[in-house]
């Protein structure tokens, strides 16, 4: 498995130390899936696996935990914590990864930031992580078989499918949709031809 490579050991050990066993296993599953998708689509496997290992590093930390470690949280991140606490771990992670673990691969930092909401025009590693986090073997989400099929065919199609499904689920739950998820939806919708749009809306919209 990709995560067994010794080059990832410091990241694996750190993630194990800050996450529950369940969340740690999820992170390893995402890293392995990200590695497979990276190979499939000609993306840097090392960056994709690293992003997968680290994507939820702050999942079980609160803003006060980061402040206690001397990490400065600006007004924009404080607003994310106030309005969208479920995605704070993603938006704050680049600061933590840079300052605590010395991660300086911008493709990894970018991927970790957008793995929850998605955004417009994601880079290759970010797209791989966005999809890998959704379609991993430990997930049990209605309609996952459709998204997995799209992921095996085209990353942009998978990104669109995921954004449609996430927006639909949030609206049904009467929860606010983050603007970057809406941006993600509009961007990848614009990348599709008419036949692809019709197919994805018919298959994902009916879930």
pLDDT tier for residue 90 given thresholds of 50, 70 and 90? very high
pLDDT tier for residue 207 given thresholds of 50, 70 and 90? low
Q: Considering the entire predicted model, what is its pTM?
A: 0.94
> Is residue 79 pLDDT above 90, yes or no?
yes
Query: Tell me, what's the pLDDT at 206?
Result: 60
Q: Which of 33-47, 61-75, 150-164 has the lowest mean pLDDT?
A: 61-75
Range of the domain at 29: 2-205
> Is residue 60 pLDDT above 60, yes or no?
yes
Quote the CA–CA distance of 126 and 107 in Å, as a whole number.
7
Query: Half-sphere exposure of residue 96, counting CA atoms within 13 Å on the CB side?
Result: 27
Query: Tell me, what's the pLDDT at 70?
Result: 85
Number of structural domains the chain divides into: 1
* CATH number of the CATH domain containing 26: 1.10.3210.10
pLDDT tier for residue 81 given thresholds of 50, 70 and 90? very high
> Is residue 25 pLDDT above 90, yes or no?
yes
What are 103-138's pLDDT values in tens digits?
999 999 999 999 999 999 999 999 999 999 999 888
* Percent of the chain whose pLDDT exceeds 70: 98
Quote the CA–CA distance of 207 and 202 in Å, as a whole number.
9
Q: What is the mean pLDDT of the segment spanning 152-160?
A: 96
Query: Tell me, what's the pLDDT at 14?
Result: 96
Place of tokens 């499904």: 165
Q: Which of 18-22, 167-171, 179-183, 196-200 has the lowest mean pLDDT?
A: 196-200
Q: Residue 112: how many CB atoms within 10 A of its CB?
A: 30
Instruction: Give 201: exposed, middle or buried? Use CB within 10 Å, 0-12, 13-18, 19+.
Output: middle
Quote the CA–CA distance of 101 and 177 in Å, as a whole number.
31
> Is residue 1 pLDDT above 90, yes or no?
no
């Amino acid at each position: 498995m990709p995560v067994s490579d010794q080059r990832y050991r410091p990241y694996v050990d750190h993630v194990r130390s800050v996450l529950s066993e369940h969340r740690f296993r999820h992170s390893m599953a995402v890293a392995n899936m990200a590695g497979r998708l990276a190979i499939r689509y000609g993306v840097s496997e090392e960056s994709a696996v690293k992003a997968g290992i680290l994507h939820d590093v702050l999942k079980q930390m609160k803003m006060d935990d980061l402040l206690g470690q001397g990490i400065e949280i600006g007004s924009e991140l404080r607003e994310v914590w106030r309005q969208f606490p479920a995605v704070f771990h993603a938006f704050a992670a680049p600061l933590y990864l840079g300052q605590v673990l010395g991660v300086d691969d911008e493709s990894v930092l970018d991927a970790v930031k957008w793995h929850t909401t998605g955004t417009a025009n994601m880079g290759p590693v970010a797209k791989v992580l966005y999809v890998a986090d959704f379609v991993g073997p430990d997930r049990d989400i209605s309609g996952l078989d459709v998204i997995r099929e799209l992921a095996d065919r085209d990353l942009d199609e998978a990104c669109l499918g995921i954004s449609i499904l996430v927006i639909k689920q949030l609206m049904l739950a009467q929860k606010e949709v983050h603007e970057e998820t809406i941006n993600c939806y509009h961007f990848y919708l614009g990348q599709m031809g008419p036949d692809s749009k019709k197919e994805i809306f018919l298959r994902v919209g009916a879930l």
